[in-house]
């Protein structure tokens, strides 16, 4: 199981983290740390940081090399090579990747990718302006690190990734970082702080990773030097040729329209796990809901059947069925109106189109696509590439403005020509109705996966969303929602006037 070392870097980058008790105590510790590290102005002025050093081998491994480079707003590259042991992990602002074997880089998914992305955020923000950078800190406890008094805190990112860090009670600098990576405990100790361009940088690190210990000595540290974007990109020698995107996306769009009709032959179960957080990262509310659902005119028609693991009462189920019936009527009415508009538009020679539809053309205009590579995903050959907003594009419609603010990575089945996984996040705040209605905050992101089932149709299997938003200029919310789809069956709806779990064929 892969274990990540990137979690230790925040320390190297003068960062901090936090944990549980009075939030104001944790913020005070962070303030003292930032001041000790060089002061808020100097620390927030770090645009790039490059560290190079040597590694004392773990066990019988020969000495090796260590490299760490970061660049605003969220670029990150970590490399440790000692004998045959090799760890390279990076985040390029769109996707996280690693290389544990020479010549075999791999895009990171799920928790592994989220951990690297969180590290990239923490090491670049350096705990300055916690609120703006969507970092929550809480106090854990007074403790000791190698016999010296220390304070333990925890930092929670907008995506829910947590880090424990320990600050020396006397110097206020980061002394230790402790985490769990790949299911294994991992620790790093920081010592030998020296000022570099007015910033306190630890020059002696000791990493405990699994059963190995690596002693790292920093030989060269440069603050705000030149760091190329190429450092963080997926290795060029492993990249594939980017295909004709217009043709590829048109093919995907055509396939998806055909799939939309086939979906109506399927029903399944959907579980939604939603967690709402307080501003300090503590859980405010946690809910679990289970639905049965089927598809109608491209929409999911859902019926709630369980809340927090318990079936609904007879009265609750009756009310839920009535709600679902009302939804069916709304979908049918909307479909009828849309069909009438399309027919009228065809008669007038003016194709009907919603100004806010997010179609293929919008993505091609508003985004640029980079780092194409071929990989294996769920046993299939896939084309993977990163995307980000095109700075030269001038958006006018709401859909164009939203898409241009996205960055992420997409996996496409090379044979089936359909999307199997998509990760994206907003690189800046996205305002709806000028922010009067909703302001989706920078860092809000989502993950979507679908699978090819029954040798016939692509159906969603997993959706994860991390939302930070301000509603009606007043209420701020932080929510994580994980949706899982299962138990797909072919079915036949005999009557939409009676809502019940779809009848299997």
Distance CA 479, CA 285 (A): 9
Helix (H, G, I), strand (E, B) or coil at 230: helix
Q: What is the DSSP string of 151-206?
A: EEEEEE-TT--EEEEEEETTT-SEEEEEEEETTEEEEEEEEEEEEETTEEEEEEEE
pLDDT of residue 166: 95
Q: How many CB atoms lie within 10 A of CB 141?
A: 12
Distance CA 375, CA 239 (A): 10
Q: How many CB atoms lie within 10 A of CB 38?
A: 22
Q: How far is CA 422 from CA 111, 295, 304, in A?
A: 15, 21, 27
Distance CA 411, CA 94 (A): 13
pLDDT of residue 377: 82
Q: How many CB atoms lie within 10 A of CB 318?
A: 12
pLDDT of residue 235: 87
pLDDT of residue 90: 93
Distance CA 174, CA 195 (A): 14
DSSP-derived secondary structure letter, 349: T
pLDDT of residue 18: 36
CB 107 within 8 A of CB 122: no
- List b or e across 257-296, with b for residues whose CB sees 16 or more CB atoms inside 10 angstroms: eebeeebebbbbbbebeebebeebbeeeeeeebbbbbbbb
CB 165 within 8 A of CB 177: yes
Does a cis peptide bond (omega within 30 degrees of 0) precede residue 73? yes
Distance CA 338, CA 434 (A): 27
CB 301 within 8 A of CB 295: yes
Distance CA 365, CA 263 (A): 29
Q: How many CB atoms lie within 10 A of CB 58?
A: 19
- Domains (ranges, CATH) in the chain? 6-237 (2.50.20.10), 240-310+355-490 (no CATH)
Which runs of consecutive H residues, i.e. helices, occur in 20-109?
Answer: 23-37, 40-44
Distance CA 404, CA 435 (A): 17
Q: How many CB atoms lie within 10 A of CB 495?
A: 8
Distance CA 47, CA 188 (A): 24
Residues contacting 474, CB < 8 A, separation 6+: none
Q: What is the DSSP string of 294-314?
A: EEETTEEEEEEEEETTEEPPH
Q: What is the pLDDT along the chain (505 residues), one digit of tens a residue?
A: 343 444 334 444 443 333 344 556 899 999 999 999 999 999 999 999 999 999 985 555 557 899 999 999 999 999 988 877 888 999 999 999 998 888 888 999 888 888 889 889 999 999 998 888 888 899 999 999 999 999 999 998 888 888 899 999 999 999 998 876 655 677 889 999 999 999 999 999 998 877 888 899 999 999 999 999 989 998 887 877 878 888 888 888 888 777 777 888 899 999 999 998 887 778 889 999 999 999 888 888 999 999 999 999 999 999 999 999 999 999 889 888 888 888 887 777 765 555 445 566 787 788 899 889 988 887 778 899 999 999 888 888 888 888 899 999 999 988 888 889 999 999 888 877 665 567 788 888 889 998 888 878 888 999 999 888 776 656 678 888 999 999 998 876 554 544 555 555 5
Instruction: List for the chain the helix, strand, coil content (%; round to 5).
Output: 25, 45, 30
Does a cis peptide bond (omega within 30 degrees of 0) precede residue 140? no
Closest of 442, 371, 445 to residue 411, by C-alpha: 371
pLDDT of residue 209: 78
Distance CA 83, CA 64 (A): 6
Distance CA 414, CA 251 (A): 11
346 CB burial (10 A radius; 0-12, 13-18, 19+): exposed
Give Cα 29 to chain centroid, integer Å.
28
């Amino acid at each position: 199981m892969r274990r990540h070392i990137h979690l230790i870097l925040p320390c190297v980058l003068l960062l901090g983290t936090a944990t549980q008790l009075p939030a104001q105590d944790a913020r005070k510790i962070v303030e003292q740390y930032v001041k000790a590290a060089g002061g808020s102005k100097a620390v927030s002025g770090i645009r790039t940081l490059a560290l190079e050093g040597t590694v004392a081998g773990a066990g019988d491994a020969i000495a090796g090399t260590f490299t760490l480079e970061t660049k605003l707003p969220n670029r990150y590259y970590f490399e440790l090579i000692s004998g045959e042991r090799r760890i390279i992990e990076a985040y390029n602002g769109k996707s996280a990747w690693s290389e544990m074997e020479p010549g075999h880089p791999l895009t990171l998914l799920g928790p592994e990718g989220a951990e690297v992305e969180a590290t990239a955020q923490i090491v670049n923000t350096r705990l300055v302006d916690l609120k703006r950078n969507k970092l929550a800190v809480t106090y854990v406890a007074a403790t000791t690190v190698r016999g010296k008094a220390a304070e333990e805190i925890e930092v929670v990112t907008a995506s829910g990734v947590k880090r424990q860090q320990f600050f020396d009670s006397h110097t206020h600098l980061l002394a230790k970082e402790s985490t769990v990576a790949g299911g294994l405990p991992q620790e790093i100790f920081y010592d030998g702080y020296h000022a570099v361009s007015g910033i306190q940088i630890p020059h002696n690190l000791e990493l405990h990773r699994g059963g190995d210990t690596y002693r790292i000595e920093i030989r060269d540290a440069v603050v705000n030097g030149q760091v190329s974007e190429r450092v963080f990109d997926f290795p060029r020698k492993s990249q594939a040729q980017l295909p004709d995107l217009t043709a590829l996306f048109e093919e995907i769009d055509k396939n998806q329209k055909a799939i939309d009709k086939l979906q109506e032959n399927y029903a399944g179960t959907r579980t939604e796990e939603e967690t709402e957080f307080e501003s300090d990262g503590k859980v405010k509310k946690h809910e679990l809901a289970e639905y049965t659902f089927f598809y109608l005119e491209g929409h999911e028609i859902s019926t709630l059947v369980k809340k927090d693991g318990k079936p609904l009462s007879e009265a609750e189920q009756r009310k839920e069925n009535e709600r679902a019936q009302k939804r069916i009527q709304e979908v049918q009415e909307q479909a009828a109106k849309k069909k009438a508009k399309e027919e009228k538009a065809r008669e007038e020679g003016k194709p009907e189109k919603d100004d806010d539809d997010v179609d293929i053309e919008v993505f091609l205009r508003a985004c640029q696509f980079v780092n194409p590579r071929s990989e294996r995903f769920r046993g299939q050959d896939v084309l993977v590439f990163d995307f980000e907003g095109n700075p030269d594009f001038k958006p006018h419609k709401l859909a164009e403005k939203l898409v241009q603010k996205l960055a992420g990575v997409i996996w496409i089945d090379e044979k089936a020509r359909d999307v199997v996984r998509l990760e994206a996040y907003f690189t800046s705040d996205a305002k709806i109705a000028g922010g009067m209605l909703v302001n989706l905050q920078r860092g809000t992101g989502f993950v979507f996966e679908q699978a090819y089932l029954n040798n016939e149709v692509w159906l969603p299997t997993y959706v994860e969303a991390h939302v930070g938003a301000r509603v009606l200029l007043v209420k701020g919310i932080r929510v994580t929602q994980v949706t899982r789809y299962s138990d797909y069956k072919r079915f036949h709806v005999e009557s939409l006037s009676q809502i019940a779990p779809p009848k299997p064929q």
